[in-house]
Structure formats: structure tokens, C-alpha cells
Amino acid sequence: MKNKMMNMVKWTLASTMLFASLSVATVSAAEEIKRVDKPDIQVLIDARKIKLPDAKPYANEDQRVMVPVRVVSEGLGAKVDWNQAENKVTITKGEKVIQLVANQQNAIVNGKTVQFDTKMTVKQQRVYVPLRFVSEALGQSVMWDSVSRWVWIGKQDVPTREDAGVKNVPIEDVEEYYANLPVLLNDYSEANIYKAAQFPISLPIFTSGELIIYEIFPAKQGNYDVIGVRHKGILNNIHIVLDNYEGARIRSAMAEETVKHADGTKTSYFPVVFKGDYVFHNIQNYLDLKISDLKYITFINDFKQIQLLEMK
């Protein structure tokens, strides 16, 4: 184990220095990196995203996050009843009873009138309520995460891969992607395959502590694609895998572009287009690579399993 750790640390340091010596991006570093998608508001209960298949949260004209009442309330362990005739919703959890009426800015909580700063609404045949009011009325803390546009309700202890039920596969199922880097597969027996919906997730790292991956998103620097990763912990390198290329291509973080957030997380950026593809693999059309060409983004961060995020 000790020799393996030293080999991996040496390889990581050497590869980081080597790739940093090349031009990691083919555009001027002065060009601003911009996120290209506008993520939907996500709601997390105890650090796990809840599924909202046909009724998405939104920010209303008062800039308050509105959520479908049934999914969120039931996710918090409450019972929900809708009175169509009175346009009234009743939320019950234990001895707490909350009543809200459509288009009114007050609620009845255990028989007492409580004012709040926006109205309950009915939209596309779904009842939407102000998230903060309902969550706090049910005894849960609420935090707005402006970086990822997430609403955290309750605990913020990010689940491990075991807690999240991440899919394990034999290393043989993915070893073709590392055919050009066989040293990385020594002594590995398994890989984990993730979907974006399973983030945030906590991963062990080589030395100690953890690497938390919050989200991975597409960005642009000039005309070229960039991969954004919001994380907490050390993340210097990733690998990208294409459908039509047998072998992983390393990408090092664009250190000068790293953004540090007030909550202690960082957003690191990794180039999709990299001159090393031409230098090391003689890939002539390396400038044409797009994020849509990627099958996996992979991480090698511990001694047991390789981590792969599905991109398609």
C-alpha cells in the first residue's frame, strides 16, 4: 500500500508539472470563463437532491423560491391535503398543522395567523408554496446556495458513495479507457459509475480527508469548451474519455481560473481542448474536441476504486 501511494503521488505530481508546462488552453487566459447552462433550482433534503419530475421550483416576482408543496412537504415527513373548493392546502406533521390559501400572504399555523412575504400560488395544476416558510414552519433549517442555485434543507452532511448507492462495476469493464495508462490500474478491482443527479457526494482521497464533488457543468473560454467542477478538497487532475478513443486523456486544473467561494468550496476549470493531445497522442484535430464528445469524466482519488461520471 505504501509503495502504491508513493507511486500514485509521484505520478500525479509529475503529470501535473508536465501538463502545466504546456499550454493547457488554446485561448488567451485573459478571456473570461462563462458557464453555458442555466441550472434549474434544485432542492436538497439532508444533502440529497429530491426528484421533481414534472413541477420545477422557480423564483417568483418577489425573488422567493417556490416549490411544489406535496413533494417537498412529504419529503420532510409531512402529510398534505388539498381542498379544491377552497383553494386551500393543509400540511400536517405531528402536532404542527399549517394551512395556506392560494393568492394569500398569510398562513394559519396551529390556529395562529402568520404573515409571510409572498403568496401561495397554483401553477400548471400544481400548488406552489414559499419554500423557506414551509420548511422553517416544519422545524427545518433552510439555506440558499447561490453558487449552484440549490436550496439546502436540514442537514448538510454530504453522503458517501456507499450511502448514495453508487453503482460498482468490475475494473475489467472500464480498463480499456486506461489502456494507455496501465500503471493507474495496478491493484484496482472496482470502479464506481455516477450520474450527475447523485451529486453532491463525498469521496475519500489518497492521503486523508475527503473530496466532495458538488456539481460538474459545461463552460466556455472563448470558442473552446471547459469543464467546471465545484468541489471541496484537493482536485488537481481529471481524465476525459471519448466514445471513439481507447485511452483516458488527462486534464489539469487551470489554476489561475480557480474560483474560491465564501462557503469554503471552489470551482476548478479543466480544458477540454488541450495541446497535449497532439504532442502525446498525435491527434491532429485536437482543436475540434467538444464537451459533447465525452463519454466519461473520471477521477482517481483513492486506492480502491476509480470514479467515472457518465456524460451521456
Per-residue pLDDT tens digits of the chain, which is 312 residues long:
545 555 555 445 445 555 555 544 444 555 889 999 888 899 999 999 988 777 889 999 988 898 888 888 999 999 999 998 998 999 999 999 999 898 888 889 999 998 888 888 888 888 888 888 888 888 899 999 999 999 999 999 999 988 888 888 898 888 888 877 777 677 678 888 988 888 999 988 766 678 999 999 999 999 899 999 999 998 988 999 987 666 788 899 998 899 999 999 999 999 999 988 888 778 888 899 999 999 999 887 666 778 889 987
For the chain, what is the largest distance between any 2 Cα atoms, rounded to a whole number of angstroms?
73
Phi, psi of 25 (to 5 degrees): -130, 155
| Radius of gyration of the CA atoms of the chain, in A | 23
Within 10 Å of residue 112's Cβ, how many Cβ atoms? Answer: 7
Q: Which residue has the cell 458517501?
A: 160
The residue extents of the domains of the chain are 2-38+159-310, 48-153
Q: Which of 129, 125, 210, 118 is nearest to 162 (CA)?
A: 210
**Cβ 140 vs Cβ 127: under 8 Å:** no
48-153 has which CATH code? 3.30.457.10
Residue 31, C-alpha cell as written in the block: 478571456
pTM for the whole structure? 0.85
